[in-house]
Amino acid sequence: MADVLTIGEVSRRSGVAASALRFYEQRGLIASERAGSGHRRYPRPVLRRIAFIVFAQRIGLTLEEIGAELAKLPGDRAPTRRDWSRLSSGWTSRIDQRIAELERLKAGLTECIGCGCLSLDRCQLANPGDRVARRGAGPRYWIGDPRPG
């Protein structure tokens, strides 16, 4: 088993497109060394970093947040299980929030497909006169703000 992988090997193993790998590298999320030919060579532990990036994106972390989290990992060795556990331990509340958001979306879809709309009294998108804008940006009812009255 090789200690370094080509970009094609990393792409196949991780399921992430080579263009995305180059983008992650440009953003400082992963690193490669250049072979004499100029081709990228990645150390095998990069696969765990990529898995972490993919997972973190799925739970809603931005690339900036992911970079900040990855910066907490040791730079002089491959991260251990304890390192990864420490890194992800603070995400429970974020995952719970994401689950709640998805549950609201799921529940809303049963009443709100096509929007003809026969359910304006319950509609999560209705906002006559843009009154809800005072509460902040985004679809306030979808993200859990209570409806008036």
pLDDT in tens, 48-77: 889 989 988 988 889 999 999 888 888 767
pLDDT in tens, 112-129: 555 555 555 556 566 566
Distance of CA 50 to the CA centre of its chain: 12
Residue 72 and residue 26 share a domain: yes
Structural domain including 33 reads 4-90
Q: What radius of gyration, in Å, describes the C-alpha atoms of the chain? A: 22
Residue 131 and residue 104 share a domain: yes
Total domains in the fold of the chain: 2
pTM of the model: 0.66
Residue 48 and residue 15 share a domain: yes
Residue 82 and residue 15 share a domain: yes
